[in-house]
Amino acid sequence: MSVSKFHTLLLLIGITFLSCSKKDYEAQIPTYISIDKFSLTTDYSTQGSESMSITDVWVYIDDDFVGVYELPANFPILKEGIVTVKLYAGIKENGIAANRTRYLGYAPYVQEVNLVKEETVIIDPQIIYEPTIKFAWLEDFDNASLTFLYNSNSDTIINKNSVDVKEGTFSGQVFLDPDMIFFEATSTSLIGVPLNGSSPVYLEMDFKTNQPLTIGVYLDANQYAFITLNVSTEWRKIYINLSEVISTNNIGATDLKVFFGMQESGSNQFVTNPEIFIDNLKVVHF
């Protein structure tokens, strides 16, 4: 190859490289989307409290999955123009940080936005419960009577408390004196909840406790513990997925109750003055 032809080839390669590099570079300039938090609106009479704990946002743009981001979030999007943004609320299922999932109980937030390179779009997602969801149990402790049953051996009951409340007028309080060693309360029978694993079943609740509290289910007369809530000095919201414990252990059962309990034994000693507060209990399913 002659020198002149070699130089011409190098020049063409260089022009092509520079052209592609510039194009590729420009294509990577993003728009940013900023989301601080979700807001939940409920029909209080049929859906209960607006208490929630949404930790993540699942993002879809024009129905393409973009990613999952911890809130508050600010993330780049490599698209331009008018797009449809769909945001799903993400939770820590069973209170486990490693078990992050979309919460199917909440409907997605949908908004059309204009994406412009290097600009930030602020979105304030306001959501509601999924319209198809069913509420099998609501207990906020603000009604005259409470919807609990008690084990015949339970040393105490759930009392209405107005001093330490998540929201509203009352919360539920369990207090054990030094000579008390056992507490167990259940919901009344939960009607219409699928017991074959065909639909997710969640217990939502707010709690605050100085003593671990065990939660599980009764399927007919059989009891199955599922999760133990750890000590928390501040009010916490938790979403407990009961589907697995129900479907795994159900063999022809027709009756479901949720139980709350604790028992002192040789391996499980109570703290001084065990005290538990609970509020905004919901069992939801599809």
Q: How far is CA 137 from CA 48, 74, 204, in A?
A: 10, 37, 10
* pTM score over 0.85: yes
Q: How far apart are CA 193 and CA 219, in angstroms?
A: 12
Task: For residues 106 and 157, give the distance between their C-alpha atoms in angstroms, rounded to a whole number.
Answer: 32
Q: Give me 263's structure tokens.
A: 């028992």
Ramachandran region, residue 62 (left: φ > 0; alpha: ψ -120 to 50; beta: rest): left
- Best CATH choice for the domain 134-285 from the list 2.60.120.200, 3.30.1780.10, 1.20.140.10, 3.90.1150.10: 2.60.120.200
Q: Measure Cα distances from 108 to 17, 33, 91, 160 in Å.
A: 44, 17, 13, 35
Query: Which structure tokens are listed for 25?
Result: 């570079």
SS3 for 4?
helix
- Rounded Cα distance, 244 and 93, in Å: 12
pLDDT per residue as tens, the chain (286 positions): 544 444 444 444 444 444 455 555 455 799 999 999 999 999 999 999 999 999 999 999 999 999 999 999 999 999 999 999 999 999 999 999 999 999 999 999 999 999 999 999 999 999 999 999 999 999 999 999 999 999 999 999 999 999 999 999 999 999 999 999 999 999 999 999 999 888 999 999 999 999 999 999 999 999 999 999 999 999 999 999 999 999 999 989 999 999 999 999 888 899 999 999 999 999 999 8
Tell me the pairing of strands 120-123 and 159-161: unpaired
Listed in sequence order, the residues at least 6 apart from 231 whose beta carbon sits closer than 8 Å to its beta carbon are 209, 210, 211, 212
Is 134-285 in the same CATH topology as 29-127?
A: no
Give the start-to-end residue ranges of the domains of the chain: 29-127, 134-285
- In whole angstroms, what is the distance from residue 166 CA to residue 235 CA? 7
Cα(first)–Cα(last) distance of the chain, in Å?
74
197 contacts 210 by C-beta, under 8 angstroms: no
Residue 182's CB is within 10 A of a number of other CB atoms, namely 15
Domain 29-127 CATH (choose: 2.60.40.10, 3.30.1330.20, 3.30.450.80, 3.30.70.360): 2.60.40.10
Pick from 259, 3, 84, 48: nearest CA to 167: 48
The confidence score (pLDDT) of residue 197 equals 81
Tokens of 119: 């600009």
Q: Evaluate the CA torsion angle 157, 160, 165, 167 in order and state its sign.
A: positive
Are residues 85 and 47 in contact, defined by beta-carbon separation less than 8 angstroms?
no
pLDDT of residue 24: 53
Mapped to the 3 state alphabet, what secondary structure does 176-226 carry? CCCCCCEEEEEECCCCCCCCCCCCCEEEEEEEEECCCEEEEEEECCEEEEE
